[in-house]
Amino acid sequence: MRLMVTKKLRYLKLYKAFFKNCLIREMEFRSHFIIQNIVSAVWALIVLVTFLFIFNHVSSVNGWDLHSMLLLTAIYFLVDRIFDSLFEINLWDLTTLVNTGNLDTILTKPVSSQFMVSLRKFSFSMFFSNLAMIGLIIYLIINFYSPISFIQIISFLILIICSIVITYSLWFISVLPIFWWGRLDNIHHLFRPFHQLGRVPIDVTGSLKPFFTYIFPLAFVSTIPAQAIIGNLSYWLLFYGIIISIVLLVISNKLWNFSLRYYTSASS
């Protein structure tokens, strides 16, 4: 147990070092930083505004009204942007690393190689977008979902972490075929359309709902975290969310190690 704690601390320290280097680098490219932030904020804003138009005509979609729909979308974008900040830039890089053979320099390091390829870089371009989404969620809670219990908030935060872990694991697994298929520049986009499904309340998928909850758990992307705030969450799902996050993370690690056997380390 003690060993595990020191190991965690070590990875936290290591992440701090990666983060520091990225911050130094990011400051070199100021205009990139500003423009990326504006683009990502505008994108989220447009999606949110479309709901105002839609709910001018209907009052609810399968039990989801305008406010819960805005909440769901804000959560989706928050998770999506956190994923982008932490992982997307790295998964994009992974294709290049495998195809050029530069993965070599990572694989020889005495650190979990999955950790290195997944978290080596941090993207600051979603920073304001993240802040805006957090602000929107707090606004919606205060105006439409208060009073809110402490347990609800804790459940929500745990489910957000589950959402990020599930998204990461599935996304990471979807990228692994590069070890066999070679040059696939857009493979890190393969999972995005599936992930977009998480923007829809899973209740509307009808008979597919159990599938999206338990087997291919896109319900945990934003529907279930939103339910924690709305107040109709069954606590069994909180428990299941933690379990499935751990299971998927372990599977992603096993598949990663398996895929490395097929790494050919291109060029000399």
Partner 1 sequence: MSLIEVKNLKKYYQVYQKEPGIKGSIKSLFHRKYENIKAVDNISFSIKEGELVGFIGPNGAGKTTTLKVLSGLLYPTEGAVSVLGYTPFDRKPEFQKQFSLVMGQKNQLWWDLPALDSFILNREIYEIDKDQFKKTLDDLTEMLDLKDILKIQVRKLSLGQRMKCELVAALLHSPKVLFLDEPTIGLDVVMQQKIREFLKAYNQKYKATIILTSHYMDDVKELCDRVIIIDKGKVFFDGLLDEIIKKYADRKILEVTFSKPVEKKDFSIIKAAKIKKFDPPQVIFSVKRKSANPVAAKLLEKFSVADLNITESSLKDIIREIFTGRDLS
Per CB under 8 A, residues contacting partner 1 are 10, 13-14, 17-18, 21, 24-25, 28, 100-102, 104-105, 107-111, 113, 260-265, 267-268
Say if residue 27 is exposed, middle or buried (CB neighbours under 10 Å; 0-12, 13-18, 19+): exposed
| Alpha-carbon span 125 to 123, nearest angstrom | 6
Cβ proximity to partner 1: between 14 and 197 the closer is 14
Cβ proximity to partner 1: between 15 and 211 the closer is 15
* In the complex, least distance from residue 148 CB atom to partner 1, rounded to whole angstroms: 40
Residue by residue, DSSP assigns 36-91 as HHHHHHHHHHHHHHHHHHHTTT-S-BTTB-HHHHHHHHHHHHHHHHHHIIIIIHHH
Q: Work out the angle at residue 125's Cα, subtended by the Cα atoms of residues 120 and 126, and round it to the nearest 5 degrees.
A: 100
8 A C-beta contact, residue 157 and residue 112? no
Cβ proximity to partner 1: between 24 and 215 the closer is 24
Query: Can you point out the beta strands (E) in 155-244?
Result: none
**Is the peptide bond preceding residue 147 cis, with omega within 30 degrees of 0?**
yes
* In the complex, least distance from residue 166 CB atom to partner 1, rounded to whole angstroms: 27
Cβ proximity to partner 1: between 20 and 192 the closer is 20
* In the complex, least distance from residue 100 CB atom to partner 1, rounded to whole angstroms: 8
Cβ proximity to partner 1: between 204 and 266 the closer is 266
8 A C-beta contact, residue 76 and residue 199? yes
* In the complex, least distance from residue 191 CB atom to partner 1, rounded to whole angstroms: 24
* In the complex, least distance from residue 124 CB atom to partner 1, rounded to whole angstroms: 14
